[in-house]
Structures are given as C-alpha cells and as structure tokens.
Amino acid sequence: MLETIKSPADLQGLSYEQLTELSAEIRQFLITKVSKTGGHLGPNLGVVELTIAIHRIFDSPKDVVLFDTGHQSYVHKILTGRADQFDGLRQRGGIAGYPNRAESEHDVIENSHASTALSWGDGISRGFAITNQIDRSVVVVVGDGALTGGMSWEALNNIAASNDRNLVVIVNDNERSYSPTIGGLATYLATLRVTRGYEKFLDWGKEVLTKTPVVGNPIYETLHGMKKGIKDIIAPQGMFEDLGLKYVGPIDGHDLVAMERALTQAKEFGQPVLVHVITEKGKGHQPAIEDQAEKFHAVGVVDPETGTPLGKSTTSWTNIFSEEMLAIGEEREDIVALTAAMLGPTGLDKFQEKFPMRTIDVGIAEQHAVTSAAGLAFTGLHPVIAVYSTFLNRAFDQLLLDVALHKAGVTFVLDRSGVTGDDGPSHHGIWDLALTGIIPTMRVAAPRDASRLRETLREALEVSDAPTAIRFPKGAVTKDIPAFERRDGVDVLYRGESADVLLVSIGAMAAISVEAASQAYREGVGVTVIDPRWVKPIPESLITMARRYKSVVVLEDGIKRAGIASSISEAFREAGLNVAIHSIGIPLEFIEHSKRSEILDDLGINAQRISRDIVAWNSTVEEMQFPEHENVDRTQNR
C-alpha cells in the first residue's frame, strides 16, 4: 500500500480497511528507517492516523498544514511523496528531520522551536482573509506540551478574537512533550480526557432544567442552584470556549472515522475551531510504549525490534554535568535546578530523583524559567537552569533585564553548544557566545574536558551577584587535557619554542588546537596554546601574554561575528596592543543538517587546515605593519 502513495490525492479513494492497513505499514516503515538513521520516532508513531485524516479532509498545499516544533512531520513527509528519501533522513544531502521548504511545497515553516506554529497560523489565516482567499484553510497541529509555552497562549488570545477565517487548531494530546506535560494545563486536559461522555450529560442536564420545577426535587434544586458553574461541570471544555474558540473533542486520534468526522465539521465551521485529539506517543512499538517514552522521543541508531542502542557507549558531557550536579546537591541545600520540559536530555533527571523539591520543570517556557530563577535567587537560593544552547535564544530579554540587571546569581548550563549537526539550522548552538557577550556582568566559561566542566561549574556556583554560564558541545566528552601551568586562571596547554603565535582555544576546541600546534611546530612555527576557561570577561592575563607574540589566533565553535575573537580584538584596542588577530569560527549563516564532524571539516576547523593556515599567516605577519593607534580592525577572518 505504501508504495502507491505519492501524494495526498492518493489517499482519497481508499477504504477505511485499506487506511488501517496503510497505518500499520507506515508504523513499520518508520521503525525500520528511523532505527537506522536516528530521529524522532515516538512522536511520529503517535500521529499516523491523525496525519492521514488531515490529508484526506484538507487539500495541501492549497490548504496550509503547520506542525508545531515539526519533529512529528515524518508521516506528513511520507504522504507528500518523500518515503523513498528516508534512507537519508537527517543525513548529509538527505531529507531534514523537520519540515523544510526546500524539500516540498507542502512544507511551510522550518523553525523547530516549540510553541510557534499557532502564531504562524494566526498570521497566515489573517493573510488569507485580508486577500480574500476564503477558500483556503489553515491547520495547526500543536502538542499539549507546546501549549505550556506562553507564545501559544499569546496566539490563542488573538486567534479567538476573530471569527472570519478558516483556522483549525488540532491539539495533539499525548500527555507529553519530551517529558510528561506538567502544570495547570496538563491537569485541565486530563479532566477532558476522562469526560468523554459529557455530551450526553449535558443534554440530560438541559432537559432537567427546562422541566417545570417540582418542589423538593433534589436534582432540580441542585442544578438550579449551580446555574453559574454548571457549564464547567458538565462541559469542561469551557476554558477554550470562554476564550471564544469552538471546541470539538476529545476525539480518539487513532480512530480514522471519528477523526475525519471531527475535521470535516471543523473545516465547514468557517471560524477558528479547536479539535482536541487524544493519541498515544510511540503507538505500535512496544519498547516505546512501555517505560521508555522519553528515551524514544528521539533515538540514535537502535535495534528495530528492541530499541536497544547499537552505537558504542560513551560518556557524554551531559552525563558529567548530571553527576556533578548530584554531588553538589548533596553538599549545598541552596542549589535548585530548573528545566524547560527536558529533565532527561539535560541530565537533571538524577537530581530530580534525589531532590524532587529542589527540581522545577516549567514546561516549554524558557522565558518563564529565567525570570522565575531570578525570583528564586532573590530568596537566597542559587538556581541552575539547564537548557540547550539554541533554546536560550528565546529568553534573551529575561536574561538581560530580569537576571543581569538585578544582579541575580543564576547559573545557566548550556548543553549542545556549538555545531550540533543532525537537527539542522534551528538547533545549532552557535549563538550563545555572541549573545552572552553583550550582557553586562555576565561571566561565561567554556570547559575543554570533564575535569574543567566540574571545576567551572563549582566556580560558577560561588558567584551570587551576577549570572554565569557554562557551555559544552553535544556528544562524547573529550579525554582530559592537562595544563603545563595556570597563569591567573588561564591554562597553558602547549608551549611553542618561539613566540610566533598564541593560539587561544575556546572550550572543546582544545584537542584540535594542540594537534594543530604540534603540526605547525614540524613546519618551524612556534605555537603556544592557551585555554582561558572563563572566556567572558576576557582575562587580563591573556592580554598580558599576547604582548609577547607576533600574532594571535582564536579558535571557537560559535559565530565569529561578536564572538570571542571579536571581544579579544576589542580588548586589545582598549589596551593599546597592536597585534594581528586571526579568527577561526563559524560564519554568520544558517547551516543545514549534517554530522558535526562533517560541518567542522567543511569550515576548515580541523588540525591539518588550522596548522596550514597558521604557517601561512606567520610567514606574512612580519610584513603587516599597523601604525600605532591607527583606527583599523586587525581581526583577520576565515
């Protein structure tokens, strides 16, 4: 059956029996393919029938289908003719793990950050109304987890204010985002899940209230006295309808007949409608259904039958942080941990098991997490916010004005910093060094190995009057790289025999830097490699050391624009130091999905290329003459 589906139009002539067979084939296809490439398996197994129903009732791409976050769009990709490309899922030159405009006209939004699709849907549906495209519908699939994000409610507030557009909001309620959905919204949706028979009760209640009152009738007296609140008792969807949204549901998201009936009603309504759908994350794959739901949200290469990882086991940066946080939690009662719906991925799950009262999961609400942390700091606690680097971007204003301005001692642990790879441009953590670099009083550490991660984390937690951040990359932690000496906090990792080049290595770039220096030595160029550990503010000892060298090279895995090399260049100018600076880092562009190692090689961030460049730069540096105090930018980029 699956081989016959090349576009959504191929679904139209199929019977429900055939659609059931197709659903089973899609699930087996996903388990087989994603187990080989890695990807978001659990979310897509849960939306098979839902996605089929959408493409049967709506006419994509004329009707616009938007997936919030987008990690549950694999079935959509299959039904829009991309099944034969899944061998290259999230691989170089293959299809992306999220919707991608370059792949298909059926894909509209590419940003894989949660809670944004409702705002997209609001804008697109308004645009259709304004331009009189009244025959086009907009469908937004948003998870119950994404509804914990404040931006979703900002959008709903605006969507509910108008009644002249064809907008269908499908709440895919599987009780989870990455982790189980938490908070008041989760509790509210739970009441809806268990009241599927409320419609019959509503009809019965209305009948009782319209009958001639009978004195002493306890049923009538009770209901009559509760007129004001009866809507919320027998029709608990009231919150959405009170906003002004027509509510349909809850609907079994795996029942194609019920789904198509509900979506048809919503499409024909002609106003914003919210369809509440109940699905099971990981449906059809027993390992994902049992007690491993969080693990199967996203998988690496695994055994398709058991879900057992097939890659070699390595100690990750996240594991080291997790262990150290647990040890610190035992020592200090003032340490509290915060996460935005990612306890397991950020390594806070162990801390939560040991210290549940000191662990706070705010849902997909990074802005709230940061400002709430400022409040926690005000009470004398020291909050640690563990977040993927890319998601810190969402809370910049709160970091700047609620934390830094108020001198709050909050520590940010930025996992997945630098180039991350498979998840594409929206998940690279290449912006944090530039963003944190413009925040007054903020201190930023970039540990090169496990020992330095433990060390700088403890140092950060001693700072009580300013924000601190610790950043590290995705993947296996590097082997410890010992220092020859430490000069005022700056580690010397490799000594050149001559004072030709000072190579400033930022964080996990240390191993590449030392190897490059070794290769340059064989070409007759003396390179000294240093690791500042704390890269913001720039250590004074770094400036002092730089005075002895002909040139300085800075290697970082963040964007070069406003990065560490830029900060060092500015510090040199302020100190009146006239020395050439060469910047090696990430260009200011959106980088498509590929393996981290492949991307770094593309950018020339490997020991062989760096050593070759150092030798070339050193051969010309003596020819470069810069008049003292001349207002020129001495930073050399590549």
* Domain-located, residue 51: yes
Q: How many domains does the chain have?
A: 3
Q: Is residue 206 part of a domain?
A: no
- To the query of whether residue 366 is one of the catalytic residues in this protein, the response is yes
Q: 333 lies in a domain?
A: yes
Q: Which domain holds residue 461?
A: 317-471
> b/e string for 213-228 if b means 16 or more Cβ within 10 A?
eeeeeeebeebeeeee
Look at strands 411-415 and 382-388 and give their pairing.
parallel
Q: Is there a domain that residue 299 lies in?
A: no
Whether residues 283 and 333 fall in one domain? no
- Sequence-ordered strand ranges (E) for 551-625: 551-559, 580-586
Average pLDDT over residues 151-168: 83
501 plus 434 within the same structural domain: no
| 449 annotated as ligand-binding | no
Do 519 and 598 lie in one domain? The reply is yes
Residue 146 annotated as binding site: yes
Does pLDDT of 433 surpass 90? yes
Question: Does 477 map to a domain?
Answer: no
The residue annotated as part of the active site, out of 90, 176, 281, 536, is 281
Known binding residue 145? Answer is yes
Q: 274, 289, 304 — which closes off a domain?
A: 289
Judge if 273 and 161 occupy the same domain.
yes
467 shares a domain with 540? no
**Selection from 225-239, 424-438, 481-495 with the highest mean pLDDT:** 481-495
User: What digits encode the pLDDT tens for the residues 235-267?
Assistant: 445 666 667 678 887 888 888 888 898 899 889
Shared domain for 278 and 141, answered yes or no, is: yes
Considering the candidates 394, 416, 452, 560, report the single residue annotated as catalytic.
394
Of 471, 498, 524, at which residue does a domain stop? 471
**Is 522 inside a domain boundary?**
yes
Is 281 noted as a catalytic residue in this protein?
yes
Distance, in Å, from the CA atom of 633 to the CA atom of 569, rounded to the nearest integer, reads: 8
In a domain, 212, yes or no: no
Structure tokens at 621: 């540096």
276 is in an annotated binding site: no
Residues 449 and 518 both lie in one domain: no
- Confirm or deny that 491 is annotated as ligand binding: no
Q: Do 422 and 512 have their domain in common? A: no
Boundary residue ending a domain (444, 471, 498):
471
In the set 49, 366, 459, 556, the catalytic residue is 366
Q: Are residues 493 and 463 in the same domain?
A: no
- Alpha helix segments (H runs only) across 335-431: 349-354, 366-378, 389-392, 396-397
Q: Are residues 456 and 494 in the same domain?
A: no
Is 229 within the bounds of a domain?
Answer: no
Higher per-residue confidence, 339 vs 163: 339
Is 406 annotated to bind a ligand? Reply is: no
Identify the bridge partners of residue 359 per DSSP, sorted by sequence position: 337
pLDDT tier, 36 (very low <50, low <70, confident <90, very high otherwise)? confident
Q: pLDDT band at 353, cuts 50/70/90?
A: very high
Tell me the pTM.
Answer: 0.77
Contacts with 263 (C-beta within 8 Å, 6 or more apart), sequence order: 53, 54, 57, 58, 168, 170, 275
Q: Where are the alpha helices (DSSP H) in 417-559?
A: 432-436, 450-460, 510-522, 540-546
pLDDT at 447 over 90: yes
Mean pLDDT within 592-601? 82
CATH number for the domain spanning 576: value is: 3.40.50.920
Among 361, 374, 482, 393, residue whose Cα is nearest residue 116: 393
Asked if 536 and 446 sit in the same domain, the reply is no
CATH assignment at residue 114: 3.40.50.970
- Residues 22 and 160 reside in one and the same domain: yes
